Chain A
């Protein structure tokens, strides 16, 4: 067994409280800790100011306080090619992508992991709320104990091989404890606001951001029976189950997005949160990733999440060919959204995940995106 001091751990540091505390904990455990700041997006504004500069400054302060070396690395090109291109393509296809899942898969736990290994690292650590554990020679990923912060949903595409080189020092503690540790240590990031939203958009207006990259094509809002209810600004701006921003007033229940017709550029809307058309019984997902593939059967029951922070639902999983999987719901599910991830769990163990492609209601494919 190597001493901790001979084990080099590269910590991906964002300048936030989570990764700061992750580095602190590893340092306290005596590891050879190296902090690295990753830049994936150039958000320099018209005054030449970019938030990365300020975030890196926080990384510098924290690392100096912890007495660990710090560096930075640029993955703007990789991020653009692997994450942003996918992000735009999905929106263009009328779907709702999850860039964080793709970023973890392609950047943080691929390009960045490779970089860390090239620096002689034994492990890569991040401030994610998730846990890894070794069972019978296999590495598993478990939910973070803070149910409200658990981030395994975003990590569903990682492989066992990758996870065996990863540490999540915060996985076993609640967020409040993380803040407490940061405060006690007097870290400059102790009270820093958590970043929200998609990293490259930040606090900006999402609609405006998207319109800079994809031409918006306004069209009609119709009920499923073809009654025109108004105009939409472009199908990409809407997601299944959305209520806000439709601008349909009048009598009765509120209106919801229930489908998109890409060919004719129509946004389908119907009334009522519990509108029947928002409910489905099954889905087909693609790009399945099983973390411990050997343990997976042809067909089995488990729980699943269809979006981040949602409660688990009971499902039955059936493997299909071509990396696809069919997921049948024990109870009907509302507003399953193409492009989002479906992530599977056996108790606290995250089994893996896939990308939601088709939604099925009583063996008919719903025109959520068609």
Chain B
């Protein structure tokens, strides 16, 4: 059975154009961009060209883009880097209970280092309430980190309103935009975002590369030391080939954004309609109208995650869940727990399906049919 990939929120296949852009760089450009000779300059040109593209994609200036090894490193650098550099201004950090672990575990680490961390709740629709943020803010707050789009539910957070609220506050505003970037038009200046994390492999670029946007005046310590790369904020020889691939992925994402959003909306509706047509009982977690096009999180009453995912995989459906189930332990999804409360069945019976460039109307329908068959067999 031909496997069908519906897990694009975990990672995406690289676009052919991305691979085509990278291949010649492997062959022709090996120089170290920090070198003073022609080999180095050639590499540096790639870095700079890509940086301009990335900056433009979020309406930033090119000096504000820091290449990282991916979203996780960008989140770590944003949180730990600014927390350490701004401790003299206060000791308070605000984030949410539904962040990706790259932010959540970093915040917990900072908590152990003596920072006072507030974790904002989310409502049953998966959304943070700006009033809660306002109430939590104090003169001690130095950083607010709230994700743009939740990776499990796809629910878009009120980033604009948060930026508005924070624009006159000393606290920096960081947002993990890993799931938003490429499908949502992001203007960091208009939205008063100080720090923003992006990952390449979520938008059909190569793995191992991402960037952190850090507004020009943001004070931030580096997390790794060595050479003076990335204006001393991220030491280490740059990954030129991946940067070039990432650049191509960004260009494609910007060019095709509107059309991708439309296509994925169509896939999502089609998928849900097919489940309904097959008589499957389900409910969508999170507010439909405020979800990103590519992600849908579905609760199947009476089923359990482990059994569903095993059956899906054996029948060629690749999907995932926020409930970690490795080594036989099912940890309920922290995101769905935040929305529905502990021990709610949704936290252990929900599956995330996420669409991408290699899906087609046909394989989405086929996938829905296979899923429906399995669910009906299990329940």
Contacts and interface: CB of A to CB of B under 8 A. Distances in A.
A53 B327 contact: yes
Given A72-B306, A115-B307, A118-B378, A52 B327 contact: yes
Interface stretch (A31-39, A85-93, A294-302): A31-39
Contacts of B378: 118
A39 B327 CA distance: 7
A55 interface: yes
Contact of A69 (B307, B314, B326, B329): B314
B328 interface: yes
Interface string A287-318: 00000000000000000000000000000000
Contact of A56 (B309, B311, B313, B326): B326
Contacts of B237: none
Contacts of A55: 327
Contact of B328 (A34, A37, A57, A118): A37
Contact of B311 (A50, A57, A72, A119): A119
Interface string A119-137: 1100000000000000000
B330 interface: yes
Contacts of A276: none
A161 interface: no
A115 B314 CA distance: 13
B329 A71 contact: no
B325 interface: yes
A53 B327 CA distance: 5
Contacts of B361: none
B310 interface: yes
Contact of A72 (B313, B314, B328): B328
A74 B329 contact: yes
Interface string B308-326: 0111011000000000011
A38 B328 contact: yes
Contacts of A52: 327-329
A119 B311 CA distance: 6
A198 interface: no
A39 B306 CA distance: 12
Nearest to B377: A118
Contacts of A57: 327
Interface in B261-320: 306-307, 309-311, 313-314
A246 to B, nearest CB: 40
Given A42-B329, A52-B328, A118 B311 contact: yes
Given A115-B307, A118-B307, A71 B327 contact: no
A73 interface: yes
Chain A contact residues (Cβ within 8 angstroms of B): what range? 20 to 34
A346 to B, nearest CB: 38
B310 A56 contact: no
Interface in A269-296: none
Interface residues of B, number: 15
B329 A73 contact: no
Please report whether the interface of chain A is mostly helix, strand, loop or mixed according to DSSP. Answer: mixed
A74 B311 CA distance: 15
A73 B314 contact: no
A249 B313 CA distance: 63
B307 A72 contact: no
A71 B313 contact: yes
Contacts of A50: 327, 329
Interface in A13-51: 34, 36-39, 42, 50
Given A115-B307, A118-B307, A39 B314 contact: no
A38 B325 CA distance: 12
A34 B330 CA distance: 20
A52 B311 CA distance: 22
B310 A71 contact: yes
B306 A74 contact: yes
A71 B307 CA distance: 9
A119 B328 contact: no
A119 B307 CA distance: 8
Contacts of A115: 307
A120 B314 contact: yes
Contacts of A36: 310
B20 to A, nearest CB: 30
A112 B120 CA distance: 41
Nearest to A75: B328
B327 A119 contact: no
A37 B328 CA distance: 7
A69 B328 contact: no
Contact of B313 (A53, A69, A118): A69
B91 to A, nearest CB: 27
Nearest to B309: A71
Nearest to B313: A69
A328 B313 CA distance: 54
B345 to A, nearest CB: 14
A142 to B, nearest CB: 31
A119 B326 contact: no
Interface string A229-254: 00000000000000000000000000
A118 B308 CA distance: 10
A74 B330 contact: yes
A36 B314 CA distance: 12
A156 to B, nearest CB: 26
B373 to A, nearest CB: 12
Contacts of A39: 327-329
A69 B313 CA distance: 9
Contacts of A71: 306, 309-310, 313
A257 to B, nearest CB: 38
Interface string A53-64: 101110000000
A119 B310 contact: yes
Contact of B327 (A56, A69, A118, A120): A56
A73 B313 contact: no
Contacts of B330: 74
Given A37-B328, A50-B329, A71-B313, 14 more contacts: A37-B327, A38-B328, A39-B327, A39-B329, A52-B327, A53-B327, A55-B327, A69-B313, A71-B309, A71-B310, A73-B307, A74-B330, A118-B311, A120-B314
Closest 6 CB pairs of A and B: A39-B328, A56-B327, A72-B328, A71-B310, A53-B327, A52-B327
11 contacts: A39-B327, A39-B329, A69-B314, A71-B306, A71-B310, A71-B313, A72-B326, A72-B327, A73-B328, A118-B307, A118-B377
